[in-house]
Chain A
């Protein structure tokens, strides 16, 4: 290879690559408005991002998959956990994670800081990022739940979920309100007996949780609800 060819490779390679990056950067900026819902990026969301940075959250957690890997990814925390669960974790990590082998620091957050963080997480959860992360894929949860509810005759458990207005606080498939945890997410981590106990007296298992007790239901009814929720489990290798 001659010197001339070597120099040519250097300049051509560099210039082509720089051009690709710059042109696509300009185009990406045009698309960020839609992809990240810039119209919803208000002062609260920005305040939430500042709080997120002030407490160095990102050096334990990942968000959009970036950061440290010591704690769960927060990209879809809002849709997975709901507002109440996030608040409890932020306010009382020492009691929420008292049984956990890994702890979260008590940051003594002000009420406003927590509200800002919730706004931030909510905005982040709506970023169109090619449906990552796979384990918290809303699309998959909705698809599988809707398919199940459409194909099966309505089960006694499902009927009870509707009758007891669970979806006024929880999300399920394409329905519900993100105050409590998504039912599909609960299905990933808890078994039916645990859930039946929890329904009877949530306060006993998760002190401070903002959920009413369902002690007016019989044990059998509570188990029916729990079994329905367990049946929502997706993933585990199959889609």
Chain B
């Protein structure tokens, strides 16, 4: 750590990690609800829908807090000056966490906007917008004042601005359900296949420059190409959500073609990381940080690229749309692309924030966390995929009623739950406690 204001990042990381744990716990309840019969009295008081709103909102909140913390860590080093208003960053954190807590408690009492993933009620959206503006001003003006523009800074700021603007499309009440979902995807799809990719690619480039010592010019040139392809395929690729919602037929073509190309930039990212590693001027230490980085790149490709491609073409999607196939893709891609990114960055930044020599730390316990969680989520996603294929065949092809087709799926949800409790939760607890009590490596 070279700048005092970088320290703010740590509070963001800590809260993000705690919310991560809570997200896993709510997920366990959801998978269990598929397997056992929850009695009517409990369903009346705490329905699946409430737990699901908590699970997804916790995910979004902790990932975004992680991105923000990472940004605060990066900005001073990139701009070579302190953050303009460190205290504002603290106020922003308090606002966001306060909103998050209010929303979660509100869900328990049925206070909701009622739109999946965007359940946070409108009055709280105002607070979120205020906090986002604080963040953008703080980060943006620090960059403008420093005037040391780099591609990394530019794409990070662009990604964060893009992310904030898109959130606005989810706030209004739309009378027409079709139009509602049309713009819902401008938030959800353009976030994960647009703005978030920009943010994460920029922050990864920053890490790679620090970890490999490869020349900035080289890393940033390939960053340009990756981002160009991400946006080219991702923006018009939004159309793969427009097949069955009441939009014109040409979306079958546009969505199908652009989204089928979406794995290409991820593959390029895999290749670029491999090349930078080969050209690395520094040893691959700490090994655990590198393990995370490589897993991030690989599972990003498997979860988002392969699992996404598997059901993106309209003739396949007609049968798989809105089934557990989507759930399999959702879990592995969020984990591969964003959860592992955040954890990589935490392992990269926390030792530096604590001033450990060369950013090295005691790694051993962290491996348990990594392998348990990663293999757990992978196994869970495969179980979801089996459930999805069953559902697709029994319900969509054979025409069995939903609940009859759900019967053979229950077993696979038990498998999901087993992975969740034995591996993902255990692993997450280890990761969280390891990161929060990181010790310097013995010299």
Contact residues of A with B, CB < 8 Å? 1, 3, 6-7, 9-14, 16-18, 20-21, 24-25, 27-29, 31-32, 35-36, 38, 41, 45-46, 49-50, 52-60, 62-73, 94, 100-106, 124, 127-130, 132-135, 185, 188-189, 233-237
**Chain B interface secondary structure, helix, strand, loop or mixed?**
helix
Q: Mark out the residues of chain B between 13 and 67 whose CB falls within 8 Å of any chain A CB in the assembled complex.
A: 33-34, 37-40, 43-44, 47-50, 52-53
Q: A130-B243, A134-B319, A188-B400 are in contact. Are A68 and B175 (CB under 8 A)?
A: no
Q: Find the A residue at minimum CB distance from B226.
A: A10
Stretch at the interface among B142-150, B346-354, B390-398, B420-428: B390-398
B443 within 8 Å of A (CB atoms):
no
Within the complex, which residue of B112, B236, B242, B250 is in contact with A56, where a contact is CB–CB below 8 Å?
A: B112
B: number of interface residues (CB 8 Å):
80
Stretch at the interface among B76-84, B124-132, B179-187, B274-282: B179-187
Q: Find the A residue at minimum CB distance from B394.
A: A135
Q: A17-B231, A64-B246, A129-B245 are in contact. Are A134 and B47 (CB under 8 A)?
A: no
Give the complex CA separation of A66 and B185 in angstroms: 10
Q: A3-B217, A36-B246, A103-B40 are in contact. Are A10 and B318 (CB under 8 A)?
A: no
C-beta contact mask, B398-415 vs A, less than 8 Å → 1, else 0? 111111101100100000
Give the complex CA separation of A3 and B225 in angstroms: 10
Expressed in whole angstroms, the minimum distance between the Cβ of A170 and any Cβ of chain B is 17
Give the complex CA separation of A67 and B115 in angstroms: 8
Q: A56-B112, A103-B40, A237-B398 are in contact. Are A49 and B53 (CB under 8 A)?
A: no
Most central of B43, B239, B254, B327 by chain A CB within 10 Å: B43
Contacts of B221 in A (CB 8 A): 1, 3, 6
A17 x B110 contact (CB < 8 A)? no
B324 within 8 Å of A (CB atoms):
yes
Closest 10 CB pairs of A and B: A235-B399, A53-B114, A65-B322, A13-B232, A59-B49, A10-B228, A132-B244, A17-B235, A13-B228, A72-B402
A17 x B402 contact (CB < 8 A)? no
B233 x A17 contact (CB < 8 A)? yes
Contacts of A132 in B (CB 8 A): 243-244, 318, 321
